[in-house]
Amino acid sequence: MPTSPLPSFSQLRAFVALCDHQHFGEAAVILGVSQPSLSQAITALEKRVGGELVERTTRRVLVTPLGETLLPYAREAVLAAESFNDAVTSRGAALTGSMRLGIIPTLAPYLAPVILDGLGRELPRLQPELREMMTDDALDALNRGRLDAAVIAIDVNLRRTAVVPMYDEPLVLLIPADHPWAGREDVDPAELDDQKLLMLDEGNCLRDQTLALCQRYGVNPPIAVATTLATVVGMVTHGVGATVIPEGALRLLGHDGAFAVARFAEPGAVRRIGLVHRTSSSRGEDFARLAEVVTDLARAAGLPVRPLSESADPDVRVGRRARRGRS
């Protein structure tokens, strides 16, 4: 039987960190404590719950069935305590201090510099720590309390996450310089069926958005996959095929004539950019304000920022209206 019904916050925090990293040394570094102190906290917690939470091996830590059962409750308790602390420290001092902000790789190269430079002027008391990571990794880090918020493309299934929509970013076609579509402004997505489409590897939101676009229009073009956007662009310039990219990424590619751009017929294809944070966070108003500031900074920097569509229907955001008009 448990010797005490109330474990301490430090014990729960130690347990969550150890389960996340499955290594005493790594968890201790993250928590800023010594390994003996971490071990003592885990042992004390095990005594309180009346059972073994982790199995100690020579290399890694394995979570026991009891530990797996109690981990979700421990995580919720830690996040709630951190939200409480956020509310206390931010009271009367909105958007100040440190903020761990994630950003996806297909946005970071051109939006991250704008954020870091602009927030220094607009919110000088805020200290953003930008971390580039894939969408799934950012959402996982958010739910584990390793991020405070993230700027992502929100055309994905978001659970246990609060969403602040920011703006729509057009998607365009990057094609070889001598492609017959070069300069077109009226490409129907259904025409993609005749093209070899280049896209990023699994796990990238841009790949998912491209596949969703194809599925929505019933097209099934031949596909080639690359790991990085730079590789995809290189394949385009060598005439291998075409790819769908965010319009903002064009400013990174230069204008050496090695490729051309084509755009989809109005209303076009877009991805929706938004800021996400934990639903348990007490800083919802702060995050809404941050999203507004970042949107204004992106617009002022000349990035392709479209006002949010009236409809949140993803079919509208990728231009399905054009298809309905043809049918």
Q: Which domain, by its residues, includes 122?
A: 95-327
Structure tokens given for 106: 């297909």
Residue 327 has what pLDDT?
Answer: 28
Residue 1 has what pLDDT?
Answer: 45
Q: Identify whether residues 85 and 100 lie together within a single domain.
A: no
What's the gap between Cα 37 and its chain centre? Answer: 34
Residue 251 has what pLDDT?
Answer: 87
> Along the 327 residues of the chain, how does pLDDT read in single tens digits?
444 568 888 899 899 989 988 889 888 888 888 988 999 999 999 999 999 999 988 778 899 999 999 999 898 888 888 777 766 555 545 678 888 999 999 899 999 999 999 998 999 888 899 999 998 899 988 888 889 999 999 876 777 789 999 999 999 999 999 999 999 999 998 898 888 899 888 777 888 888 888 888 888 888 888 878 888 888 999 999 999 999 999 988 876 788 999 999 988 889 999 999 988 787 888 899 999 999 999 999 999 999 986 434 444 354 333 333 332
Rounded CA-CA distance 198/91 in Å is: 49
Residue 4 lies in a domain: no
**In the block, which residue shows the tokens 């409480």?**
84
Q: Identify whether residues 67 and 106 lie together within a single domain.
A: no
CB of 151 closer than 8 Å to CB of 131 = no
Where does a domain end: 90, 122, 153? 90
Residue 88 has what pLDDT?
Answer: 59
**In the block, which residue shows the tokens 């659970």?**
159
Spatial CA neighbour of 15 closest among 43, 34, 36:
43
Residue 64 has what pLDDT?
Answer: 92
Q: For 254, left (φ over 0), alpha (ψ -120 to 50), or beta?
A: left
What's the gap between Cα 91 and its chain centre? Answer: 27
Q: Identify whether residues 76 and 111 lie together within a single domain.
A: no
- 61-63 vs 149-153, strand pairing mode: unpaired
Q: Identify whether residues 127 and 43 lie together within a single domain.
A: no
Residue 303 lies in a domain: yes
Q: Identify whether residues 81 and 132 lie together within a single domain.
A: no
| DSSP state string for 240-302 | S-EEEEEGGGGGGT--SSSEEEEEBSTT-EEEEEEEEEETT-S-HHHHHHHHHHHHHHHHHTT
Structure tokens given for 309: 């569509």
Residue 63 lies in a domain: yes
Rounded CA-CA distance 45/230 in Å is: 49
Q: Identify whether residues 190 and 295 lie together within a single domain.
A: yes
- Give the bridge partners for 152, in sequence order: 274
Rounded CA-CA distance 292/211 in Å is: 30
Q: What is the CATH number of the domain that holds 205?
A: 3.40.190.290
CB of 170 closer than 8 Å to CB of 307 = no
Residue 2 lies in a domain: no
Residue 116 has what pLDDT?
Answer: 93
Residue 101 lies in a domain: yes
Q: Identify whether residues 139 and 270 lie together within a single domain.
A: yes
Structure tokens given for 63: 């979570």
Q: Identify whether residues 282 and 211 lie together within a single domain.
A: yes
Where does a domain end: 71, 90, 109? 90
Q: Identify whether residues 233 and 144 lie together within a single domain.
A: yes
Residue 194 has what pLDDT?
Answer: 83
CB of 236 closer than 8 Å to CB of 176 = yes
Residue 1 lies in a domain: no
What is the domain count for the chain?
2
Residue 84 has what pLDDT?
Answer: 74
Q: Which long-range contacts (CB under 8 A, 24 or more apart) does 280-283 make?
A: 280/76, 280/79, 280/80, 280/83, 281/83, 281/86, 281/148, 281/162, 282/83, 282/84, 282/86, 282/87, 282/90, 283/86, 283/87, 283/90, 283/148
Where does a domain end: 55, 90, 125? 90
Q: What is the CATH number of the domain that holds 13?
A: 1.10.10.10
Amino acid identity of residue 233, one-letter, is: V
Q: Identify whether residues 199 and 251 lie together within a single domain.
A: yes
Residue 3 lies in a domain: no
Residue 192 lies in a domain: yes
Q: Identify whether residues 116 and 217 lie together within a single domain.
A: yes
Q: Identify whether residues 128 and 86 lie together within a single domain.
A: no
